[in-house]
Structures are given as C-alpha cells and as structure tokens.
Amino acid sequence: MRRPDDMASWEVPEGMESPLDFALAERDRDTMEMVRSALERQDVVLAFQPVVQGARPGSVAFYEGLIRILDETGRVIPASDFIETAETSQIGRKIDCLALEMGLIALSEHPSLRLSINMSARSIGSPHWMQVLKDGLRADPTAGDRLILEITESSAMMLPDLVGAFMHDQQCSGIAFALDDFGAGHTSFRYLREFYFDLVKIDSQFIRGIAQCADNQVLTTALQSISRHFDMFTVAVGVETAEDAAFLQQIGIDCLQGYYYGAATIQPPWKTPSRKGLLQVG
C-alpha cells in the first residue's frame, strides 16, 4: 500500500492532460466527428414541439423547431448531446444555417405556421447564415412575421452590442426574438432593457415541480414581473404535469411548453390529421 508521502507520485506532470481532461477531450472529439459525419450525409432534421397559449392551452401559439442529427444507425440525436461542444466551432455555424434554412422552408410551405428557430449570437457574424436569412425572407416576404429567433441568455450576454444591433436591424422584417434560458444566471438587466426581445423563455429549472416548490414559485413570479415590465411575453419551459400547468396558468404565464403538451417530433404535427386542430396560431 502506498504511504501518504507517495501521493505526489500520482500527480500528472505539468503540461500533460489529466486522465479526466483526456477523457473529456476524447468525448468531445467523438461528438464532433459524429456531428461532422451527419452533416456530410445531410442527416439533419428539425423536430417540432408545440408552445401553447396559457389562457387557451388547446391552441398552439407557435412551434419550436429543434435541430436533430441522425447517427449512422438512424438514431435521432437531440441537440443537448452535441450543441454545447459544436457551438463555438464552424460546425456550429453550419448547424445554425441548416436549422434556419429548414425552418424558413417550413414557413414557406405552410402559411399559417408560426415557428421559432434556435441560433447562437455567433452566427450573426456569419455571412452564410445572414445570406440564408435574406434569401428566405426574399423568397417568402410573409415568413418574417411568422419567424421567431431564439437566442440563449448566455449567448446574448456574451455579445450584447452585436445582438442588440442585429435585432434592431431585423425589426423591419417582422421577425420576433425570444430570450432562451431566461433566469439561468447570465442576465445583465442593464443590457436586458436595451434589447428588443419580444418574449422570454423561463428556464426549466424553475418550472419543473413548481406547484410543490415555494422557492421556484417566488423566482418564476419575479421573472414574470420583470418580463411584463419590459413588455415581453413569457413562456414557461419544461411543463410536465397538470399541477405545474395549473399553477402557471393561475399566475398568468402567457405560454406553456413541455412534455405535458407534447414532445418534440420529427413528424410535423400540422401534417398529422388528428393534430391539425392544434394549429390555431394566436
């Protein structure tokens, strides 16, 4: 058995990766390779999840288009498994371009559809992404009025000046903007009042189990109050139970999203006969 004074011999020499760092780097490399291969095969799709009106939960306010890739076996891989690793690279820009392109096509094909698409603030500086947006709006001038661009709180606060200028420039196109993951811990309220967000999506960590959690009730109510002060609609993300939905409706949250109302599906809900009645966009 090693004595305590032998512990120093276990240390990783300076300049070398620790076993944990090495394992994480290998995981990230494997993830990037999986995404890169899927992009080369064009195995990329959107999954659609309904966002319903709080006052009329039988009516869909809009759908969120969530990027998915298919691995070599055809398995659907959610963005949560790869987007954090890919976001800072050129692959992240390509993912954003494909998501926007597919979203704009869906809007063009279905004139009654309203759709939100996720993006990174980094993509604002991508000429390719900007060209995809311009081409889509030129092909269907009505698409702007039905498109919502979702920008994560952390991404927006990283490049506040760039995001603010972009949002201001796109107002004339009718595009709405959503601040995703609101309350996750990155918000600078000094910047929030200077942005042009139309709605905020309250982070699911405050929503799941809210009917039984007094702390989350207080925090969510506070986030809702801030949103109303800045004339922004609120969306509660991660609604999974009837009890949580009832509480959120009671306090006046504008829109609700989560498994309780429907999981994301790569089969467009508005094309399914039994679900067509849900597409009553308010």
pLDDT above 80 (res 282)? no
More confident residue, 26 or 237: 237
Q: Which pLDDT belongs to residue 10?
A: 41
C-alpha to C-alpha distance for 201 and 118, rounded to whole angstroms: 12
pLDDT above 70 (res 53)? yes
Q: What are the CA-CA distances from residue 1 to residues 5, 6, 268 (Å)? A: 12, 10, 61
C-alpha to C-alpha distance for 94 and 101, rounded to whole angstroms: 10
Q: Which pLDDT belongs to residue 187?
A: 63
Instruction: Give 149-193 pLDDT, tens digit per residue.
Output: 999 888 888 888 899 999 999 988 899 999 998 887 766 676 777
pLDDT above 60 (res 6)? no
Fold held by 37-263: TIM Barrel (3.20.20)
Average of pLDDT values for 218-234? 93
Q: Which pLDDT belongs to residue 249?
A: 97
Instruction: Give 85-138 pLDDT, tens digit per residue.
Output: 777 778 889 999 999 999 999 999 999 999 999 999 999 999 999 999 999 999
More confident residue, 33 or 52: 52
Q: What are the CA-CA distances from residue 92 to residues 36, 41, 127, 174, 178 (Å)? A: 10, 16, 14, 26, 19
Q: Which pLDDT belongs to residue 83?
A: 78
Q: Which pLDDT belongs to residue 267?
A: 92
Banded model confidence at residue 15, pLDDT cuts 50, 70, 90: low
pLDDT above 90 (res 74)? no
Q: Which pLDDT belongs to residue 276?
A: 44
Long-range contacts of 193-197 (CB under 8 A, 24+ apart): 193/230, 194/160, 194/164, 195/156, 195/160, 195/163, 195/164, 195/167, 196/164, 196/167, 196/168, 196/171, 197/167, 197/230, 197/232
pLDDT above 50 (res 242)? yes
Burial, 124: exposed, middle or buried (Cβ in 10 Å; 0-12, 13-18, 19+)? buried
Helices then strands, each counted (H, E), the chain:
10, 9
Q: Which pLDDT belongs to residue 247?
A: 98
C-alpha to C-alpha distance for 277 and 59, rounded to whole angstroms: 8
Banded model confidence at residue 12, pLDDT cuts 50, 70, 90: very low
Q: Which amino acid is at 223?
A: L
C-alpha to C-alpha distance for 282 and 278, rounded to whole angstroms: 11
Helices (H), 193-241: 214-229
Question: Which pTM does this prediction carry?
Answer: 0.85
What ranges do the domains of the chain cover? Answer: 37-263
Instruction: Give 133-145 pLDDT, tens digit per residue.
Output: 999 999 999 999 9
Q: What are the CA-CA distances from residue 18 to residues 9, 32, 84, 168 (Å)? A: 13, 21, 22, 46
Q: Which pLDDT belongs to residue 186?
A: 63
pLDDT above 80 (res 77)? yes
Per-residue DSSP letter, 34: H
Q: Which pLDDT belongs to residue 279?
A: 43
